[in-house]
């Protein structure tokens, strides 16, 4: 049987990374390419990097392309953005990418992509119930998955807790910016996870983002009713999840078209 492959791209604050992904295993089928995010991260500049990245791989036509983006994505459009250039607000990403690269692409929030990847191939694989994947990086991203179904754009990093924006207090960037020790940072995370648990009563919390590699230094400091476990895919989750999400979305659209033709 031939391999099912999709291409994933992860747009981050410091790098834009892409790789082809084997959808059966969730592994890269070629080395990842990383291009630094342009300092002035406008839609035009970023879409040029995406074009360059896509051109550096020899992709069979019709390979699904998924793009993970650090903002909510509502029917392709960015309603607001916290951590890239503000000119992204209102941009229709699939349309912009088509215009600049000639490719059709499915765009998904970065934490939703990471959550999808963890659910398909990682720490939450095969798990039922309510699972919350939290990514700790420049911001706090969230993905809510209930019995295998992702509810997109939850944006729980922007909860207001004790009168303050949660990600400004508890993201990994806050730890770095304020030079917090792991112990000090864990106190903030504890408060965050307590509130999230109170609001959602999840069965499992999976912690991802770059810092999740160092989970042994902070997860044991957090006391919680709900199990909190590290992600498995670490930095690959955005690429893998975007690719898998694009393939799933295309399958869903084809099914819908077939259904609509019949009725």
| Token pair 């303050």: residue | 164
Check residue 167 for interaction with ligand BGC (CB under 6 A).
Answer: yes
Q: Pick from 155, 166, 204, 207: which binds ligand BGC (CB under 6 A)?
A: 155
Closest CA to 68 of 57, 84, 55, 45: 84
Which residue number, 113 or 247, has a Cβ lying nearer to ligand BGC?
113
Q: Which residue is nearest to ligand BGC (CB)?
A: 139
Q: Pick from 83, 165, 190, 224: which binds ligand BGC (CB under 6 A)?
A: 83
Stretch that binds ligand BGC, among 16-24, 136-144, 211-219, 250-258 (CB under 6 A): 136-144
Two structure tokens written together for 252: 């869903």
* Residue 166 beta carbon to ligand BGC: minimum distance, rounded to whole angstroms: 10
Looking at the chain, which runs of residues are DSSP E strands?
5-11, 15-22, 27-28, 33-36, 65-69, 106-109, 130-136, 140-146, 149-151, 160-161, 164-165, 204-208, 228-230
Instruction: Look at residue 134 and give its three-state secondary structure.
Output: strand
Which residue number, 20 or 169, has a Cβ lying nearer to ligand BGC?
169
Check residue 208 for interaction with ligand BGC (CB under 6 A).
Answer: no
Q: Pick from 43, 139, 202, 241: which binds ligand BGC (CB under 6 A)?
A: 139
Check residue 71 for interaction with ligand BGC (CB under 6 A).
Answer: yes
Q: Cα separation of 108 and 114, whole Å? A: 10
Q: Are 233 and 240 in contact (CB under 8 A)?
A: yes
First-to-final CA distance of the chain: 34
Q: Cα separation of 43 and 72, whole Å? A: 15
Which residue number, 118 or 155, has a Cβ lying nearer to ligand BGC?
155
Instruction: Look at residue 84 and give its three-state secondary structure.
Output: coil
Check residue 110 for interaction with ligand BGC (CB under 6 A).
Answer: yes
Check residue 202 for interaction with ligand BGC (CB under 6 A).
Answer: no
Q: Which residues pair with 36 in a beta bridge?
A: 15
Which residue number, 83 or 87, has a Cβ lying nearer to ligand BGC?
83
Q: Are 228 and 205 in contact (CB under 8 A)?
A: yes
Check residue 141 for interaction with ligand BGC (CB under 6 A).
Answer: yes
Stretch that binds ligand BGC, among 18-26, 84-92, 133-141, 229-237 (CB under 6 A): 133-141
* Residue 40 beta carbon to ligand BGC: minimum distance, rounded to whole angstroms: 19
Check residue 135 for interaction with ligand BGC (CB under 6 A).
Answer: yes
| Per-position DSSP letters for 10-49, written without gaps between them | EE-SSEEEEEEEETTTTEESS--EEEEPPSS--HHHHHHH
Q: Cα separation of 202 and 198, whole Å? A: 9
Q: Cα separation of 111 and 146, whole Å? A: 15
* Residue 29 beta carbon to ligand BGC: minimum distance, rounded to whole angstroms: 26
Q: Pick from 72, 115, 152, 230: which binds ligand BGC (CB under 6 A)?
A: 72
Two structure tokens written together for 254: 């084809």
* Residue 58 beta carbon to ligand BGC: minimum distance, rounded to whole angstroms: 30
- Residue ranges in contact with ligand BGC by CB under 6 A: 70-72, 82-83, 109-111, 135, 137, 139, 141, 155, 157, 167
């Amino acid at each position: 049987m031939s391999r099912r492959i999709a291409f994933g791209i992860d747009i981050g604050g410091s790098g834009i990374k892409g790789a082809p992904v084997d959808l059966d295993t969730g592994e890269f089928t070629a080395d990842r390419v990383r291009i630094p995010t342009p300092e002035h991260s406008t839609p035009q500049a970023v879409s040029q990097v995406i074009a360059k990245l896509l051109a550096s791989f020899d992709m069979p036509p019709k390979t699904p392309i998924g793009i993970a983006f650090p903002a909510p994505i509502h029917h392709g459009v960015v309603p607001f953005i916290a951590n890239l250039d503000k000119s992204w607000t209102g941009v229709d990403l699939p349309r912009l990418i088509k215009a600049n690269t000639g490719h059709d692409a499915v765009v998904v929030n970065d934490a939703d992509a990471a959550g999808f990847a963890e659910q398909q191939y990682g720490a939450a694989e095969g798990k039922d119930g309510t699972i919350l994947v939290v990514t700790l990086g420049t911001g706090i991203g969230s993905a809510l998955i209930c019995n295998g179904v992702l509810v997109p754009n939850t944006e729980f990093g922007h909860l207001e807790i004790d009168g303050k924006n949660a990600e400004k207090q508890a993201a990994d960037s806050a730890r770095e910016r304020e030079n917090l020790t792991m112990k000090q940072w864990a106190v903030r995370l504890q408060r965050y996870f307590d509130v999230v648990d109170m609001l959602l009563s999840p069965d499992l919390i999976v912690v991802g983002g770059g810092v999740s590699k160092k989970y042994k230094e902070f997860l044991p400091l957090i006391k919680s009713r709900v199990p909190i476990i590290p992600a498995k895919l670490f930095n690959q989750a955005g690429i893998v999840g975007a690719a898998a999400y694009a393939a799933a979305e295309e399958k869903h659209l084809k099914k819908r078209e077939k259904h609509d033709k019949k009725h």
